[in-house]
Amino acid sequence: MGDSDSSLRDLPSVDRVLRSANADALGRYPRELVVESVRAILEALREGMRELADARVPSEARILAAAMGRIQAMTRPSIRRVVNATGVVLHTNLGRALLAPEAVEAVTLAAEHPINLEIDLTSGARGERDSLILNDLLALTGAEAGTVVNNNAAAVLLALNSLAQGKEVIVSRGELIEIGGAFRIPEIMAKSGAILREVGTTNRTHPRDYLDAINDRTGLLLKVHTSNYRVVGFTSEVALEEICAIGRERGLPVMEDLGSGALLDLSSFGLPREPIVAERIRAGADVVTFSGDKLLGGPQAGFIVGTTRAIEATNRNPLKRALRCDKLTLAAAAATLRLYRTSTNLAEALPTLRWLTHPIEEMERIGEEAVALLRATLGGRYQIEVLDSDAEIGSGAQPTQKLASKAIVISHPGIRPHDIANRFRRGEPPILGRVWRDRFWLDLRGIFAASDLVPKSTARPSR
């Protein structure tokens, strides 16, 4: 007891610790931050020494080093690169689509320099920021007009509010979707000021259901792509073409929320087919909305394309100003759409397509190489092998279709799979896989270098 008290008195003051440091070390950070950190370390030591009778007073140099380490941990950038070995290509929690190099370059340019965001460089007159993307967007979708906002949820909200505020919107009960992150059609509808008029049943809706529900309060017929689930079995949905025929007959606009709307036919890359935006416009939809960072492979954005009349209504709406994209998003979107028109090899040019078309033999080769590296790094009694696995597109595209893939599967007789997962997640960069069937899986679909799968700094599995 007496010993510990005297040690406590021997703890140096903040000043003494600071005086012991050379100017270089102190100059690296603002003085207040260093002072605060030294104080925190001293406080922690004081606490520890009260509990441990035989605790020793560390040197000033060690206290300073601990304080510097604390600052380093505190000031590490909050955004960190992670390795996506989850097998979900468009992973919402990991930021969905990666940008093509051309889009990254456009973002950097827009961040570093003034740009022609809202100015017509020919006439010098004020321009529209949408014009940066409009030519390509219309060419790629075949629509008369279009615009872009922050995400597809905003696009749906804006379109409903612009076209059907205070009016009834007819939707099939089979399409009242919830997308992850609390996007629910009935709730977005309520916030838009439109009145939801559900028709049909969960599994079957017929044309007469729409016809019977139409009255003089009806403002819009809405179709929603059931992105993240399928109704199977005894089912019947009304095709967009039929809804459009009803709309034309009754003088009502038709809108489709297409979700991950592809711009081209994915089956030409051997992938499951997703509805294509241009087809939906050709089928007669007045408005189609879709995301920028799902299958399109661009930045987070929500595109609205359709008739001039419908798009003019969204552009007149004050909500448009609140939901408009910033210049970095527009730069990335413009460059991505341009690639669709100019690239001779989109599967190489767009990272999303590159992941989706990653050849299985190449995954296997990278997997074998990574297994050798992992055996050398992990050592011990880890069992590591390459097995067949199922990847998925993610973000609500083709929920029932798996993409054949390969994965490295890791287990250890004495370490639980969740603890193996923790070790990989706590490395630098963090490596994210999944625990399945009591083993830890690193899916190879999005891995193009074996070394990406080797944890660099290896925090030991906790417990």
Ligand X SMILES: *Cc1c(COP(=O)(O)O)cnc(C)c1O
Sequence-separated (6 or more) residues with CB below 8 Å from residue 366:
444, 447, 448, 449, 450
The CB-nearest residue to ligand X is: 259
Q: Given the complex with ligand X, which of 42 and 224 has the nearer CB atom?
A: 224
Complex with ligand X: residue 153 or 305, whichever CB lies closer: 153
What does each C-alpha distance from 241 to 254, 285, 443 come to in angstroms?
10, 8, 40
Percentages of the chain per state (helix, strand, coil), in multiples of 5: 45, 20, 35
> What is residue 336's three-state secondary structure?
helix
Roughly how many angstroms between the first and final C-alpha of the chain, as a whole number?
Answer: 32
Residues 6 or more apart whose Cβ sits within 8 Å of residue 284: 240, 241, 244, 245, 247, 248, 254
List interacting residues with ligand X (CB under 6 A): 151-153, 177, 179, 183, 224-225, 227, 257, 259-260, 291, 302, 395-396
Closer to ligand X by CB, 228 or 405: give it. 228
Partner residues linked to 463 by β-bridges: none
Pick 21 or 188: Cβ nearer ligand X:
188
CA distance 241 to 416: 53
Residue 115 Cβ, how far from ligand X at the closest point, in Å? 24
Which residue lies nearer to ligand X by CB, 332 or 386?
332
Which residues are within 8 A (CB) of 422 and not within 5 positions of it... i.e. 6 or more apart? 459, 461, 462
Choose between 224 and 363: whose C-beta lies nearer to ligand X.
224
CB 319 to ligand X: min, Å: 15
Least distance CB 152 / ligand X (angstroms):
3
Q: Which residue, 227 or 405, is less far from ligand X as judged by CB?
A: 227
Q: How far is the CB of 167 from ligand X (least distance, A)?
A: 21
Distance in Å, CB of 324 to ligand X, minimum: 15
Per-position DSSP letters for 123-189, written without gaps between them: T--B--TTHHHHHHHHHHH--SEEEEESSHHHHHHHHHHHHHTTSEEEEEGGG--EETTTEEHHHHH
Closest distance to ligand X from the beta carbon of 103 (Å): 17
Residue 196: what are its φ and ψ, rounded to 5°? -70, 125
Residue 100 CB, shortest distance to ligand X, in Å, is 19
